[in-house]
Structure 1
Amino acid sequence: MSKVLLVHAKGGPPLGHVLSRTAARAEVHLLALSALPPVVADSAHRLCASVVTPAEAQRSDLVSLIVSRARAVGADAVLTFSEYAVVAVAEACEALGLAGAGDAAALARDKRLMRRTWREHGLSQPEFRAVTREADLHEAAGVLSFPLLLKAAWSAGSTAHQIIRSPQELSGAWHRSREVMAESAQLGYAELHVAEAQGHFVVEEIVTGTASDWFDEPGWGDYVSVEGAVADGTFHPVCLSGRMPTVEPFTERAGITPALLSQDAQDRVVALARQAVDALGLRDCGTHTEIKLGADGRMWLIETAARFGGAMTVPQIEDVFGLDLVGMLVDQLLGRPVHWPEQALTPAQARGAAGSLVVLAVDGDGEAWRERKIWDFPSVAKEVPLSRGSELSVVAESSLPDGQVVPVYDPAGGANTMAALCLLSATDARTVLRDFETLVDALPRVLPVAQPEEVSA
């Protein structure tokens, strides 16, 4: 049986989903760079031939660690689904002579390199400047137009994103973003391979999105993502995911599969995604490309990742389109034949719809809840009225246990201040969107109020 070394770190699809699909294709050896979620620890040991958690001293040279472990278990493929380990795994695959994203993986990770590459190819994106010092930020502000968005070059989940509306806000934003990146590293949400990554930033102009020009009904966000894969250097789009509007600054609240775009609009979005991925020169990996939608058909590239979309994007695609992307990628890396879609799948080919909602302590307008609340999914499931046929569940490994206080939303912290991740399946994407709007409005009403002693604990 073929052997796969799976490198686990925070982020990406739920580990339980990834493990079961990988184990169905090969003997799995797990290298855990982050602690295993308690709800999947037992199944991990049951599904894997080995589970190794390296000591801190072994992680100083992550590529060598991965290479050594792969050789020890005789791995025929090495893969990860975490943004924070993508570059290290790609470099390890190169050293081992195994299929992987290739030596261009850093271009799909470091937003500075990504944007420079797209600029060289003349692709549509916001005007930007790379920033490594506060002086760089002030210099960039002298040539870019306000408002500006400061973002960490190696972050994920909108961590350390800050809107800067005037020159007076530059210094404060710079120091707060660096502070947030340090906090994220302590939580395990940081690049694992590039030691100096916490100090790399990008500042860019904020382009104006217009969802109403692309969607037939209100409520959709003004960007979409193209989910796909690169196989032997060829990009294969799988489908599009839609969004609810983000929470300021640009924290994602919900992803919905499929996105309800017309065929012509979808084709144009996919064409830009193809140009973006091709420009990066990836070889064998999942891809996730986010695109901002503007008026009169304008589009701007936000970012591309050399891995599948995080949260519940992968399970949603399996539920809606019947594609096991994890298993397909494992087969691809093992050199087995894989039938990737010839073109991006459409809403007409979907079997219902699915979406994942990040629970943040803000209402539908992005305003903070007036009271601190206790996370309690049974109350949510019982009290929130959803559409007929809709089914809501909580993703336990990505959520607080019931009874814990919901964190105060921190705009600079992004998804780091989420309380839970909920999954909803419904008859169609419109219903998912409407049910999520109902859920967001109901949460501060149905969740129990936290007592002072619980907040201070």
Structure 2
Amino acid sequence: MSTVLLVHAKGGPPLGHVLSRAAARADVHLLALSELPPAVAASAGSLCASVMRPTEAQRSDLVALIVSRAEAVGADAVLTFSEYAVVAVAEACEALGLPGAGGAAALARDKRRMRQTWHRHGLPQPAFHPVTTETDLHKAAATLPVPMLLKAAWSAGSTAHQIIGSPQEADAAWRRSRATMAESAQLGFAELHVAEADAHYVVEEIVTGEAAWWFDEPGWGDYVSVEGVVAGGVFRPVCVSGRMPTIEPFTERAGITPALLPADLQDRVVALARDAVDALGLRDCGTHTEIKLGADGRMWLIETAARLGGAMTVPQIEEVFGLDLVGMLVDHLLGRPVDWPERALGPEQARGAAGSLVVLAVDGHGEAWRDRRVWDFPAVRATVTLSEGSTLSVVPESSLPDGSTVPVYDPAGGANTMAALCLLSAPDARTVLRDFTTLIDALPRVLPPAECAVAQSASTAPRPEGVPA
């Protein structure tokens, strides 16, 4: 049987899902750069041929660590599903002579170089300026229209995003973003290989989206993501995922498979994603490309990742379209033939719909909850009435334990202040959208008040895995 080295770090699809699918295709050796989620730790030993947790000294040269471990286990393929390990794994694959994202992987991580590459190819995107110092930020603030968006160039999950409403707000935004990135690094949500990554930022024009031009019903967000794979340098689109509107500044709340786009509009979205991926020059990896949707058919590229979509995007695709993307990618990296879809799948090929909701202490209008609440999924399941045929579950490894106090939403922290990740299966995407709206409205009412908590608080509870989409 073939051998795979799986490099695990924060983020990406749930590790339990990844391990079970990869282990069905090959002997899996796990290199755990982050602590295993408690929900997975018990089963990892039976699913994996080995589990290695490197010391800090071993992690000092991450590429060398991955190469040496791959050689020790005789790996026929090396892969990761974490945004934070993509570059290191790509470089290790290059050194080992194995298929991987290639030297362009850094272009799909560093938002500055990504935007510069797309600019050279004439692709539509917001105006931008790379930023490494406060002086750079002030120069950008004097040229871009306000409001503008400050992003950490190597972040994920909307971490450290700051809206700058006027040039006078630049200094405070800079300090807050840098502090947030430092806090995220302490939680394990930071680039693992590029030492200077925490100093890289980009400031962007905020373009105006218009979901109503693209969708026939209200409730959809004004952006989508195109899920796919690059196989031998050829982009293979799989489907388009829809979203609910983001929470200020741009924190993702829910992803829904499939997006209810008319076929001609989906084709346009996929074509732009193809141009984005081709411009970056990726070789063998999953891809996740986010696109902003505007009035009169306008589109802007947000970003492309050289990995499969995070949160529950991959399990949703398997449920709705019957495609095991983890297994298919493993097969491809091992040189086996894979039957990729001939074109991106849409609502007409879907078997029902599925969506994932990030539980944040914010209501449907984007306002913070009036009081603190305790996460209690059994209470949610027992008291929230969903549509007939809908099934709600919680993703344990991406959620706080029941009894934990729901963190106060921090706009700069993004998904770092999540309490839980819920999965909803329903007969169609409209039902998912409707039920998520019901759930968001109900949570601050049905969850117990924080003063009733008898279990561990959010300050002492283990943090859930991050959810960069």
Equivalent in the alignment of 2:154: 154
Aligned pairs for 1:78-117 (under 5 A) are 78-117=78-117
Partners of 1:169 and 1:142 lie apart in 2 by 12
* 1:345 corresponding residue in structure 2: 345
Q: Judge conservation of contact 2:80–2:89 (CA < 8 Å) in 1.
A: yes
Q: Work out the CA distance in 1 between the residues paired with 2:249 and 2:174.
A: 15
Deviations 1:65-97 (A, max 9, x none): 000000000000000000000000000000000
The reply to whether residue 119 of structure 1 matches residue 125 of structure 2 is no
State how far apart, in whole Å, the 2-side matches of 1:149 and 1:440 are.
Answer: 26
Q: CA deviation at 1:168?
A: 1.2
Deviations 1:158-191 (A, max 9, x none): 0000111111110000000000000000000000
Aligned to 1:64: 64
SS of alignment partner, residue 230 of structure 1: strand
Alignment of 1:43-442 (within 5 A): 43-442=43-442
Tell me, yes or no, if the aligned pair for 2:108 and 2:305 is still in contact at 8 Å. yes
> What letter corresponds to residue 367 of structure 1 in structure 2?
E
Query: What secondary structure does 2:170 align onto?
Result: helix
Q: Structure 1 CA distance, aligned partners of 2:49 and 2:60?
A: 25
Return the alpha-carbon distance in structure 2 between the equivalents of residues 246 and 42 of structure 1: 35
| Post-superposition offset of 1:451 | 1.1
Structure 2 partner of 1:18: 18
Aligned 8 A contact 2:409 2:417 in 1: yes
After superposition, the C-alpha distances for 1:379-430 in whole angstroms (9 at most, x for unaligned) are 0000011000000000000000000000000000000000000000000000
Find the aligned partners of 1:237 and 1:104 in 2 and give their Cα distance: 19
Question: Separation in 2 of the partners of 1:450 and 1:328?
Answer: 44
Q: CA deviation at 1:436?
A: 0.1
SS for the counterpart of 1:5 is: strand
Question: For residue 184 of structure 2, what is the amino acid of its counterpart?
Answer: S
Measured in 2, the distance between the counterparts of 1:276 and 1:282 equals: 10
**C-alpha contact 1:12 1:309 (8 A) present in aligned 2:** yes
- One-letter amino acid matched to 2:424: L
| Alpha-carbon offset, residue 296 of structure 1 | 0.3
- Describe the shift of the 1:183–1:305 C-alpha distance in structure 2 as closer, same or farther (beyond 3 A): same
Q: Distance in 2 between matches of 1:200 and 1:319?
A: 38
Aligned partner of 2:304: which letter? Answer: T
Partner of 2:463: none
| Residues 22, 330 of structure 1: 8 Å contact kept | yes
Identity %: 81
Give the deviation of 1:196 after TM superposition: 1.1
How many angstroms does 1:42 deviate by?
Answer: 1.3
Q: CA deviation at 1:455?
A: 7.8
Aligned partners of 2:246 and 2:345: how far apart in 1?
Answer: 25
Distance 1:263 1:456, change over 3 A: closer
Look up the SS of the partner of 2:255 in the other structure: strand
Cα deviation digits, residues 286-336 of structure 1 (max 9, x gap): 000000000000000000000000000000000000000000000010000
TM (normalized to structure 2)? 0.97
Is contact 2:406–2:458 with CA below 8 Å preserved after alignment?
Answer: no
User: Secondary structure of the equivalent of 2:450?
Assistant: coil
- Offset of residue 57 of structure 1: 1.1
Deviations 1:4-36 (A, max 9, x none): 000000000000000000000000000000000
SS in 2 for 1:163: strand
Which residue in the other structure is 2:465 paired with?
Answer: none
Q: Is contact 1:394-1:422 (8 Å) kept?
A: yes
Q: Tell me the CA shift for residue 456 of structure 1.
A: 8.3
What amino acid is the match of 1:390?
S
Instruction: State the distance in 2 between where 1:456 and 1:198 align.
Output: 25
**Distance (whole Å) between structure 2 residues aligned to residue 144 and residue 367 of structure 1:** 28
Structure 1 vs Structure 2 CA RMSD: 0.9
Q: Deviations over 1:205-250 (max 9, x none)?
A: 0000000000001000000000000000000000000000000000
Deviations 1:29-60 (Å, cap 9, x if unpaired)? 00000000011111111110100000011111
Shift of 1:363: 0.1
Give CA-to-partner distance per residue, 1:107-150, whole Å, 9 cap, x none. 00100010000000000000000000000000011111111000
Counterpart of 1:330, as a letter, is: V
For structure 1, the residue ranges without an aligned partner over 5 or more in a row are: none
Counterpart contact for 2:407–2:458, Cα < 8 Å: no
Whether the 8 Å CA contact 1:222–1:294 is kept in 2: the answer is: yes
Q: Which amino acid aligns with 1:354?
A: A
**8 A contact 1:13–1:310 mirrored in 2:** yes
Distance in 2 between the 1:252 and 1:346 partners? 22
The 10-residue stretch of structure 1 (36-45 or 420-429) with the greater mean CA deviation from structure 2: 36-45
3-state DSSP of counterpart to 1:182: helix
SS at match of 2:196: helix
Kindly state the Cα deviation for residue 452 of structure 1 after the two structures are TM-superposed.
Answer: 8.6
For the Cα contact (< 8 Å) 1:372–1:455, is it kept in 2? no
TM-score w.r.t. structure 1 length?
Answer: 0.99
The letter of the residue matching 1:348 is: E
